[in-house]
A and B are shown apart, each in its own frame.
Chain A
Amino acid sequence: MKHEVDVLVIGAGPGGSSAAKAAAEAGASVLLIEKRQEIGSPVRCGEGVAMDWLRELGIPPDQRWIAHEVDGARLVSPCGHVMTMDARRAGNETGFVVERDAFDRALASAAVRAGSDIWMRAMATGAKMVGDRMSRVKVDRFGDDVTIVPKVVIAADGFESRVCGWAGLNSRLALKDIDSCLQYRLVGIETDERWNDFYVGSMAPGGYVWVFHKGEGVANVGIGVGAHRLRKKGDVRMYLDRFIASHPELSRGRAVDIVAGAVSTSLPMDTTVKGNLMLVGDAARMIDALTGGGVVHAIRSGQIAGAIAGEHLQGGQPMDRYERAWRREIEDLLVRNYVAKEKAVNLSDETFDRIIGALCELEVSHITTGEILAAVAKVAPEFMAELEDLL
C-alpha cells in the first residue's frame, strides 16, 4: 500500500508532536507515526521541566500533566554541603515535575487538533534514498506494510534514532557521551517535597542522582552514570540501589514504578538537515549534556522544523535554513554546557565539596545554570578556565 503525504514525522515524543503541529498549522498534510501503542509510555524521563521555558514555547501549565510544584532545587555535595536554589531566584530552570506520559499525550493531541494525522503502532523500518532525498519510507503499521511517499521527513525518533543512519548521517556516540539512567518512583519516603534535589560525586560517576518530588512522600529517584564508568553488567542499578540504601529517608520507600533510558551528553550533530530530512530533539543530540534535559530543546527544534517544512512546501524556501535557525537559538547553550560537563565529570569528591561549599557562601542573585557556572569560575578558576569565554 502506498500513502502520499507532505510531511512524515517519525516519533510522537515532544519533538515529533511539536513538529507535526507546526507543519499542520502551516497548511501541510502531516502524518505522525509512533511505534508504541501508547504515547509517552513507558516514561523514560526524570520529569523535571523548567516551566518558564515551556511558557516561552507557548505551552502554558496544565493540571492534566503537572504532578507537583516545587520551591526550587538543591545541589548536594558528596560530604553533604547543600546549595539551595530558591525558585524566586532560580528563575526559569526549576519549577515543575510533570507526568510525562500525560504531557506527551497533550502535545500529540494538540498536533491532531491542528490537523495532523497520527498512526499508532506504526514503526518506520527502512527508507529508500534517491541521492540526498528520502523518497520512500517503509512503515509497519499494526502488522501491515505501508510505503510512505513523503515530500519532507522529520526524524524525531529519539536517542536510539535509526533514521539518521538511513540518510547516511553519523549519529554514533562515544561512550563518554552517553549516560545510562535508571529511576524508581519511590512511595513512602521522608524527604522535603518543597525541593528537587541533585546529588553529585562518585556515587554517580559521570552523572548525578536526582530526587524529583511528585507530592508528599513520593519522588522520582534516579541516577545517570557515564557509560565509560560502567565496568560490568547491572552497574547502573547497583549505583542507584547503593545510593538509596545509604539514605535512610529514601530507603524506607518502595518503588512503584521503574523507568530506564539513556541520554546523550555529546555536542549536537554537525548535520541536522539533508535533502528533504530534518532531525529534531534527541535524534539530533540536542540534549543538554550537563543537566540531561532534552524536552524543551526537542519542542523548540520541532516547532522550527515543522514551520520550515510548511514554508518549504508553500513557497519553496530551502530547508537548510533549519540548520541555522535552531542553532541560533539553542547551540550556544548546548556547547557551553557540554564543555562544563567535560569538566564536571572529572572532578573529585573533594573538589565538588569545595566548590559547592563555596557556592553556599556566595550571593548569587539570579540562579541559572549559567550563573552557577560563573560562580564556579570564581571559586575554582583552575577548573573553569576554558568556560570563561563561553559564559
Chain B
Amino acid sequence: MKRVACDRNVCLYCGTCVGGCPFEAMTLFSTWIEVDHDVCTRCGVCVKLCPVGALTLGEAGP
C-alpha cells in the first residue's frame, strides 16, 4: 500500500505539510513529522506542498 514517507535528510520541520493536510493526519514535533496512517487518505497534497520536496507517496511501510 502507498504511504507518505518523509526524508529526514531533506525535511526542515517547517510544518507546511502539517497545516496544509486536509485531513489533519500529520503532527509537527520539534524535529520530526508524524503521519497518522489511519487518518491519511494518500491524497498527495502534502507531497506537492512541501517547500523542499521532502515527502514522497510511495510503496513503503511494514
A binding-site residues for B, Cβ under 8 Å: 35-37, 42, 44, 121, 123, 158-162, 165, 172-173, 175, 178, 180-182, 227, 230-237, 258-262, 264
Contact = CB atoms under 8 A, between A and B. Distances in A.
Contacts of B45: 175, 227
B48 A227 contact: yes
Nearest to A162: B27
A123 B15 CA distance: 14
A78 B20 CA distance: 29
B9 interface: no
Interface string B3-30: 0000000001111101110101001111
Q: Which of B49, B51, B53 has the most CB of A within 10 A?
A: B51
A256 to B, nearest CB: 15
Given A160-B28, A181-B51, A237-B51, A260 B16 contact: yes
Which size class do B's interface residues fall under?
Answer: 20 to 34
A172 B30 CA distance: 22
B30 A35 contact: yes
A42 B30 CA distance: 10
Given A42-B14, A180-B51, 15 more contacts: A35-B29, A173-B19, A181-B16, A230-B48, A233-B47, A233-B50, A234-B50, A237-B51, A237-B52, A237-B53, A260-B14, A260-B51, A260-B52, A261-B15, A262-B49
Contacts of A262: 14-16, 19-20, 49, 51
B2 to A, nearest CB: 14
A205 B4 CA distance: 26
Contacts of B14: 42, 44, 259-262
B12 A258 contact: yes
Contacts of B22: 172
A209 B20 CA distance: 21
A136 B29 CA distance: 20
B12 A158 contact: no
Nearest to B56: A233
Contacts of A236: 50-52
Contact of A233 (B13, B30, B55): B55
Nearest to B55: A233
A178 B51 contact: no
B7 to A, nearest CB: 11
A178 B30 CA distance: 22
B38 to A, nearest CB: 16
Nearest to A230: B48
Contacts of B50: 180, 233-234, 236
6 closest cross-chain pairs (CB), A and B = A234-B53, A262-B16, A160-B15, A160-B18, A260-B14, A160-B19
Nearest to B14: A260
